[in-house]
Chain A
Amino acid sequence: MRASRSGNIWQNVDWITIGLFLVLVFFGWLNIYGASYTFDQTSIFDFSNRAGKQFTWIMGSLIMGIVLLLIDYKTYDVLAYIAYGAMLLLLLATPFLAHDIKGSLSWISLGPVNLQPAEFAKCVVALAVAKYMGRYEYKLRTWRDLIVPFALIGVPALIIMILQKETGSALVFAAFLLVFYRQGMSGYVLWIGVAAVALFIISIRFGAVPLPLGSGSVGILSCMLLLTAVEIFFICKEHRMRWQALILVGSVVAIYGICLLLSIWFTMPFDWISMGVVIALVLYNVFVSLYWRKYMLLLVALFTLFCIGYTHACDFAFTRVLQPHQRIRIEVLLGMKEDPAGAGYNVNQARIAIGSGRFLGKGYLNGTQTKLQFVPEQDTDFIFCTVGEEWGFVGSIGVLLVYLFFILRLIEIAERQRNTTTQIYAYAVASIFLFHLTINVGMVLGLLPVIGIPLPFFSYGGSSLWGFTLLLFILLRLDAARMEQLR
């Protein structure tokens, strides 16, 4: 769409995004009606039921969207820090004003409705981060340049996690890593994240599985082998080694071969041996780095050593730091525990609901799993079950593809900005939606542990709908103004 230079917002606004937004909201609303449908059901507009209430939230959100588009775009930039400060105060105050809803202290009662400030915090934080990183004099060159942005997302995240006990809402701020990445943060950070998750899963899942030969656990050995591979990769890459690589790999294989042979007669402590191999490689790396004066590689050595410690700390973190309900969710996910009546109940019933929808679904309002309330939270966090059961495979991938198109459209919007602030804000919006989609659908599909965050525009609830509306329509307003601001 060609953006007009004239100030008419209705010509400049991105109608494709608005269209996708309306599709998602409307289809979500239909599914809330389906999920809360029982036999003596009244009209979809009956305000005493969930779908009727959601209708009022949707109307509110549309009005909010129009208002947001009518406000001068500069207002958002001007208010960014003020709003951020106010939001921090609100988040701090929330636990004291809130009453306990399912163990969470994140809801404030305003007359007949409950509001969750954390849902609105995402937008405010995104604006503040965008404003900070979009300043002309800001350049992301070293780690030091990321301290302030990290603080901007870390403080509200910690408040939400520790004071409000809403781990899920806090984790959303991790989405900003993608924004930083786009702005120039090292790609290794993403890999470190992947490595941390992989090491955690391997060491928890297989930490207690003994090796068939010798002593030690499958978990530790696998982690160490992974680190060995990482270390060899970096040594060879950074030192431009080719034939030496063969020597390194050969000697590692030889060591393990000898140990295997020896294990016929002796009980070999394989976890210690594998750790020794990794440390030897680290020492070699340090030596080569100092010799060739490639100090960056010392970081890799440091990271590897950290990972060794991390691997051993995982178990501690898992048993001591995580709360029992979180621990059991992970154990169920990793298949270490079968508990279809207890912790695994939601996930199992969600799987049954989605699976029984088959290819074309049972038809709208015909889902037995949802209609008969077998899936808890089926109109909020587990709303995707209703889609899977009543609309089948076709409907489910349809919804996923609309979301994908929506997120790719946001990235497209981000990339066409001339103003860095708007671009950063746009990436923040895209990343937050992607994070919500990933975690929520991954949880419902049984691929990720149960983390209670809503599916944007689908899950029942005013706070989340309005929070996402705020996030999206500020972006649309800023985008509509992109031709007015030249830098």
Chain B
Amino acid sequence: MINDQFYRRRYVISGIAIGIVLVYIIRLFYLQVIDQSTKDQADNNALVKQTIYPSRGLIYDRNGELLVFNQPIYEITMTMRDMDKDWDTITFCQCLQITRAEFDERIAEIKDRRKNRGYSRWTPQVFMSQLKKEDIAPLQEFLSMFPGIQIQKRTLRDYTYKAAAHVLGSVGEVSQSDIDRDDYYARGDYSGRDGLERTYEAQLRGEKGVEVLMRDSRGRMQGSYQDGELDRTAKAGTDLYTTLDIRLQLLAEELLSGKIGSAVAIEPKTGEILALASNPGWNPKVLVGKERSKNYDILLKDPTKPLYNRATQATYSPGSTFKTIQALVCLHEKGITPNTVYPCSGPGSSPIKCTHHHGSPVTLENAIEQSCNPYFWCAFRDVLQKDGYGKDNEDFRKRYETWRNDVMSFGLGQKFTDTDLGDQSSGSIPSTRFYDRYYGKTGWKAITIRSLSIGQGEILVTPIQLANQAATIANDGYYITPHLNKNDSMLNHRHQLDIEHEYFDILKAGMHRVMVYGTGRHYAIDSLHMAGKTGTVQNPHGRDHAIFIGFAPVEDPQIAVAVVVENAGFGATWASPVATMMIEQYLTGEVKRKDLRKRIGESVLNASVKKW
């Protein structure tokens, strides 16, 4: 154009266009290159990670009997949007055996956003849950009539027997601290809360799978993302074979019913726990599913403490059963010889009375057989005083420490650390420092701690330790850490004692005599060569605790047992029948003494023990 004085304004206008595009390119650079947050936001919008739950590993007993398995339960979900006009509500209600009113009430609950915050017409909502197969069977038949209805399968734990609740433990919903500790878990997941379920959680749970799905803006699923490239299948949990013999376990629990106590059986050569019963307990089926929290609460509040595993957690003075240890340690420490005899004046003895009437003087074998208190006091004294007391009581205290170490080498007074048992108590064999603090370094002598000689006083052990002690004697001086998984690698956990082999023969002979002539003779069986030792433990809180340890057959021990019945009285009356019947069951496969079984099993010593 001619004489165009505003010619240069074309550059201003072009500049505006270039400037705007430049600003937009900078903005795009910020959004698409610098700002990293939007990638995740887009994924959160569109991708739904659906977890595929693996089936939990099964639990078997040592003979391959199924103890714990998974029961399918079903939940019915409905997607409101897909429910059309032709939906036959009446038939639906009939299939599920609910009334129309119940149906309407449930629908109202689902749609109430105050109660059901995640409600959407587009996504499946849980209509009924925890249904049995027979509950949903009629609906399944007519499922095609009900668009929008889906039946989802989930699993719960189920149990073949009402037994071994403490050992097996239970499965429950994970807590926040579990989620924080292990990022495998998410809210609403289940994990083993106690017992074997907890110990072997990593093995039993398997591995969750994931399926990445796409969801549109209305929450409808639109198939898998990137053709399932990111999906992972679930890996089922590994089955667990336990060392339990379920027949033996059932018998132990039957015999303990109505009483407070525990019974532990171990296969001496392998350390495998054959039975681990604690009463009161519960039926494992009650800590499953809907009922779990209600029942758990009841168990928690029960004054007889059923949740407490007495077999591993309760501590008792071992009483006369400790005399077996005392005999071995005193021989080993040369306080006595196999030929040593001590006089006994029966109830007139001092400083410790004898509760039994027998000849005097007594040999070691007889002392075991007759459970002679004065013998073991004298032996104990002679071990501790062997070198005299020394300057500042030094030599005596050194001897005591040696004695204590020998005792503890049986696994007493300490937890088994290399095992899969759940919660344990350590018990206690009092240390030199303990008495030093109590009496002063020079203030205690053998006479001060004389109760220890017969397993009374400050010494405390758990039933599992007692059973292990019996197994150690049966093995002539070694034990394999007691354990619950049937796995040969545990044979490496062998603990060898320093005590000489020949001393065990003497002790075993004495323990066999207990079953033939002594306190255990009433419940012995001629065909089975049993060895045992009873104990009647004084107890400041009430009647004496009845204790028995034993093993059989003496020549080639297959089973070692410890039984504790609280506040029952004589060990010979209450603990030894339980133990001998367990031995009989294990070795012969049955209990022939039906009347005895019935009498012991049905007698109630503690009326407040609840039966589940």
Contacts and interface: CB of A to CB of B under 8 A. Distances in A.
Interface of A: 38-39, 178, 181-184, 187, 349, 351-359, 368-369, 371-374, 388-389, 392-393, 396-397, 400-401, 403-404, 407-408, 411, 414-415, 417-418, 420, 423, 427, 430-431, 434, 437-438, 441-442, 445-447
B9 A181 contact: yes
- Name the residue among B17, B23, B41, B218 with the largest chain A CB count within 10 angstroms: B17
A431 B21 CA distance: 14
A397 B14 CA distance: 18
Contact of B24 (A183, A400, A415, A417): A400
A400 B28 CA distance: 10
Interface string B28-47: 11011101011101110111
A50 B16 CA distance: 34
Contact of A354 (B20, B21, B31): B31
Interface stretch (B138-146, B209-217, B443-451, B543-551): B209-217
Nearest to A178: B13
B216 A352 contact: no
A442 B408 CA distance: 82
B10 A359 contact: no
B14 A355 contact: no
Closest 9 CB pairs of A and B: A355-B38, A356-B42, A368-B46, A372-B216, A393-B32, A355-B31, A404-B21, A374-B217, A352-B41
B101 interface: no
A442 B42 contact: no
A184 B5 CA distance: 8
Contacts of A38: 222
Nearest to A408: B14
A427 B32 CA distance: 33
Contacts of B14: 408, 411
29 contacts: A178-B13, A182-B6, A183-B6, A187-B12, A349-B45, A354-B32, A355-B41, A356-B39, A356-B43, A357-B32, A358-B32, A358-B39, A368-B47, A369-B46, A372-B216, A373-B217, A388-B28, A388-B31, A393-B32, A401-B21, A404-B18, A404-B21, A414-B10, A417-B1, A420-B1, A430-B13, A434-B20, A438-B20, A442-B24
Contact of A368 (B9, B18, B45): B45
B35 A355 contact: yes
B132 interface: no
Given A369-B46, A401-B21, A182 B28 contact: no
Contact of B32 (A178, A181, A392, A442): A392
A11 to B, nearest CB: 24
Contacts of B38: 351-352, 354-356
Nearest to A447: B27
A23 to B, nearest CB: 16
Contacts of A417: 1
A447 B32 contact: no
Contact of A445 (B9, B24, B37, B45): B24
Interface of B: 1, 5-6, 9-10, 12-14, 16-18, 20-21, 23-25, 27-29, 31-33, 35, 37-39, 41-43, 45-47, 214-218, 222-223, 225
Nearest to A367: B42
B18 A354 contact: no
Given A355-B41, A356-B39, A437-B20, 8 more contacts: A182-B13, A354-B28, A368-B214, A388-B28, A393-B32, A396-B28, A401-B21, A408-B17
A354 B33 CA distance: 10
A374 B222 CA distance: 13
B110 to A, nearest CB: 22
Contacts of A355: 31-32, 35, 37-39, 41-42
A181 B17 CA distance: 14
B33 A400 contact: no
Contacts of B32: 354-355, 357-359, 388, 392-393, 396
A369 B45 contact: yes
Nearest to B10: A415
Nearest to A403: B21
Nearest to B27: A445
B217 A447 contact: no
Nearest to A401: B21
A447 B20 CA distance: 11
B75 to A, nearest CB: 27
B28 A358 contact: no
Contacts of A396: 28, 32
A369 B216 CA distance: 8
B432 to A, nearest CB: 71
A431 B10 CA distance: 12
A478 to B, nearest CB: 15
Nearest to B18: A404
A89 B5 CA distance: 38
B41 A356 contact: yes
Contacts of B27: 445-447
A368 B48 CA distance: 12
B21 A400 contact: yes
B7 to A, nearest CB: 8
A482 to B, nearest CB: 12
Contacts of A356: 38-39, 41-43
Contact of A418 (B1, B10, B43, B45): B1
Contacts of A183: 6
B6 A184 contact: yes
A407 B218 CA distance: 39
Contact of A441 (B16, B24, B214, B225): B24
Contacts of B214: 368, 371-372
A388 B42 CA distance: 13
A434 B216 CA distance: 34
A135 B12 CA distance: 25
B226 to A, nearest CB: 9
Contacts of A414: 10
Nearest to A376: B217
Nearest to B11: A411
A423 B4 CA distance: 12
A427 B14 CA distance: 11
A403 B45 CA distance: 31
Contacts of A408: 14, 17-18
Contacts of B16: 178, 434
B222 A372 contact: yes
A396 B32 CA distance: 10
A159 B610 CA distance: 88
Contacts of B216: 372-374
A183 B12 CA distance: 13
A445 B31 contact: yes
A365 to B, nearest CB: 13
A198 to B, nearest CB: 15
A474 B38 CA distance: 43
A330 to B, nearest CB: 18
Contacts of A184: 5-6
A178 B32 CA distance: 32
B11 to A, nearest CB: 9
A354 B31 CA distance: 7
B39 A181 contact: no
B240 to A, nearest CB: 43
B45 A352 contact: yes
A447 B215 CA distance: 29
A397 B217 contact: no
B18 A182 contact: no
A144 B609 CA distance: 107
B45 A182 contact: no
Contacts of A423: 1
Contacts of A373: 216-218
- Name the residue among A182, A427, A447 with the largest chain B CB count within 10 angstroms: A182
Nearest to A420: B1
Contacts of A447: 23-24, 27
Contacts of A438: 20
Nearest to A433: B17
Contact of B45 (A372, A401, A407, A431): A372
A66 to B, nearest CB: 29
A446 B225 CA distance: 29
